[in-house]
């Protein structure tokens, strides 16, 4: 009798805690803007700054947000290219993925989660990133502090 009661309670807990299929089925972001960001991310994971450059405007701007401040890290394709070449040399094992991608007009927002090896240890962090897509290329992107 106690076993049957336990199984019944367990079943009710599982059903009560299970996500509502309608609520949990978040729509997958799609569209030209997301395709641009996906192409950029694939080129990043291939460590191919030449291919990445195909996804940027010549005057692409990378902005870091920290606390109450924002600062421009790069403001041209050439500068961003140079930054990435140095980054891939410093982190030869880095790869990254995007989670929770959403769009609002020509903006794509996601959580970017890079993973890399450092001193024999696997490291990871996550940052919110917002991309502004103009003429099918990244015009600006903002990175918020990593968590």
pLDDT digits (tens, 9 = 90+) for 40-67: 999 999 999 999 999 999 999 999 999 8
Q: What is the pLDDT of residue 78?
A: 97
Supply the pTM of this predicted model.
Answer: 0.78
Q: What is the pLDDT of residue 44?
A: 97
Contact 97, 41 (CB under 8 A): yes
pLDDT digits (tens, 9 = 90+) for 3-46: 443 333 333 333 333 344 343 444 456 799 999 999 999 999 99
Q: Tell me the pLDDT band of 144, cut-offs 50, 70 and 90.
A: very high
Q: What is the pLDDT of residue 89?
A: 96
**Which of these, 89, 62, 93, lies nearest to 75 by C-alpha position?**
62
Domains and CATH numbers, the chain: 27-143 (3.10.450.50)
Cβ partners under 8 Å of residue 122, min gap 6: 115, 116
Q: Is the dihedral of CA 10, 13, 15, 19 positive or negative?
A: negative
């Amino acid at each position: 009798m106690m076993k049957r009661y336990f199984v019944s309670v367990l079943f009710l807990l599982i059903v009560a805690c299970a996500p509502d299929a309608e609520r949990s089925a978040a729509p997958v972001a799609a569209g030209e803007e997301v395709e641009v960001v996906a192409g950029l991310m694939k080129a990043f994971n291939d460590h191919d700054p030449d291919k990445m450059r195909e996804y940027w405007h010549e005057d692409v701007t990378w902005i870091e947000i920290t606390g109450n401040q924002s600062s421009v890290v790069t403001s041209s394709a050439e500068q961003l290219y140079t930054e990435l070449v140095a980054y891939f040399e410093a982190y030869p094992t880095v790869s990254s993925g995007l989670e929770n991608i959403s769009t609002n007009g020509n903006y794509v927002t996601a959580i970017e989660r890079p993973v890399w090896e450092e001193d024999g240890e696997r490291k990871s962090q996550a940052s919110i990133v917002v991309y502004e897509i103009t003429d099918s290329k990244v015009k600006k992107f903002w990175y918020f502090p990593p968590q």
